[in-house]
Chains A and B, each alone.
Chain A
């Protein structure tokens, strides 16, 4: 096998061995028949050396399979393109200082869980005074006027408030993602903002466990923050991006 620096294949215990781990359930009985169904499914996915090593009866006609197999495909590393938030991350003091120096006035940020979403854990982690995991939230920043509207805020209400507060940025959190409801909600907000002529007037930022920066850009937002993001990431992005926009 040709080893190339740019070719990426899974690593089990030997370079490029292509070993992968699988866990899934099928509507089949826990039997040799069921196990064969699992093996054939993996085979049709183009996998080789399939070993169905675990089979657990889930009852009601379902079975859980655990398997290892070898993939024959590989990825060309030189062709990978990802969109990530590229602004540097500063701590709270540095961000406050940056805003004072470069912008000279506090920035107003309005946050909410929009539409049906009642789970405020994400927006609270970014905005609440306390923050999360030793990073204070935006309410604690001297140079942010942070307004957290909480859960189940209609897009119309959020935009109306943003207009009335003359907001610099809108933060939208979406935690519930069943049947892609988060995509529908985020799309609705951005379409409404465009219709009301607000889209260009402030930053639109979304966050949540299934949000990536790339998805956010695709949906028409300025940035997206997923799992593992903190207030420092969001605050730095807002400060630097607004400063850049003013300069331009």
Chain B
């Protein structure tokens, strides 16, 4: 890799400030839970399917408990208590609640030791499955070898899971390493996860457990045929972060978009809800060996990529500190950044190189996710293709972990089959041609690139120290992130956050924390 000298003082300053910011939220992680966390617990206890009016059973049970003011003890306890009392499994308990046959709070309280043992057994069964999925992925990687760097990441977004499968298989055969199945545009604001295979949606189809299973099966087949493991990814953002992560872990997704603050800033989801949900969501990913990815590109899609470059660095450092709290290993932190500088700017490539090297140098172990130009992609597909080639050049030269390929038709439509193929051809040629060029390049020590990278780092350190001093929620309220003001008690999903009682129990959180060595 091209060597970039960063000021050690500023690296330490920035990291310490980010750690202080993350530490200031510990009370939330310790004392609160949310409706989606409880639904996740139910899913992990084996509850799936839908009840009356197609309402997912995890929602049915959690709403039932919330209505009876019983959620503070945790959904796991009530469901297991009923399971012991009726000698059935949690799924049958949920179905009975779904058909109004039982009230979980009036079922006689069973011997507590018996309830806890039963809960332990059921939880262990699920965790064993998650470990098995993790081992399967590792077996595949042993058999077929590690992922290339940068890995070729493409999206499928037809809005129909079966059509998505055709496009994903074709992309994998062309050379894609990672397939992202884009979700329907409105899914992040749904406070439930739809059930079953879906063939509708705009700009993508829904993330559902069945859709995950369908795509994973298809990609396992192609992996065997191509002798290359094809990674599958989806989006754990919005109001159902931990539920999506749980479904992904169960069905062996390999990566998950799982940003700590994206929902707050770009989807107006309540800040407490988002931070709390990402904590458990990421812990599930850590446990299942899923690589998380973060959404720093969003900071640059409306703001200027040169002027606001430090916001990307600051967000990466905050994401890193929150990821550590959930037990994510550095090699599973796919921190994000983007190639979004105005191509009219002279020397734009030097700026892009400085920013890309800064990210790589600051997070040497991270499989950094590099996002393509979108803001300056236009209806001129020929120019966009050229811009994407330049982006691929920087990706290979700086050894990014994941190259999310740009599409020449970015500004026009969700990718056609041929758009994706041309994007892969573009990346493969540039990656091959640039090859090991970095080994032969040294930066001028006092030249533009190291100076620029250190300037951005210093700005990020100043910014993070300011936020750490005044408090994250205050800073969010004042619009210091991305010029967007978010109030601690505002935004969507705020009502879904509640304080835990002393006898609250989430068996998965407890066991995962123990096994991940978290306090």
Contact = CB atoms under 8 A, between A and B. Distances in A.
Interface of A: 23-25, 56, 58-60, 62, 64, 116-121, 124-125, 128-130, 132-133, 150-152, 176-179, 181, 209, 227-228
B86 interface: no
A216 B170 CA distance: 38
B202 A24 contact: no
B412 interface: yes
A58 B303 CA distance: 37
B435 interface: no
Interface of B: 159, 166, 169-170, 173-174, 184-186, 188-189, 202-203, 267-268, 301-304, 342, 375, 378-379, 411-414, 416-418, 421-422, 425, 483
A181 B268 contact: no
Contacts of A228: 378
Contacts of A58: 170, 174, 417-418, 421
Nearest to A185: B202
Give the residue among B304, B378, B418 with the most A Cβ atoms within 10 A.
B418
Contact of A25 (B303, B379, B418): B418
Contacts of A25: 416-418
Nearest to A63: B418
A118 B186 contact: yes
A26 to B, nearest CB: 10
Give the residue among A25, A118, A130, A150 with the most B Cβ atoms within 10 A.
A118
Contacts of B413: 177-178
B476 to A, nearest CB: 16
Contacts of B379: 209, 227
Nearest to A25: B418
B159 A179 contact: yes
Contacts of A59: 169-170, 173-174
A64 B173 contact: no
A125 B303 CA distance: 10
A130 B203 contact: no
Contacts of B203: 176, 178
Contacts of B303: 130
A117 B187 CA distance: 11
B302 A125 contact: yes
Contacts of A124: 302
Contacts of B186: 116, 118, 152
Nearest to B425: A56
Contacts of A132: 302
B418 A118 contact: no
Contacts of B417: 25, 58, 62, 64
Given A121-B302, A130-B302, A209-B412, A116 B185 contact: yes
B383 to A, nearest CB: 13
Give the residue among A150, A151, A228 with the most B Cβ atoms within 10 A.
A151
B188 A118 contact: yes
A62 B420 CA distance: 13
A150 B189 CA distance: 13
Contacts of B189: 118, 152
A176 B182 CA distance: 13
B202 A181 contact: yes
Given A60-B166, A119-B185, A176-B202, A130 B483 contact: yes
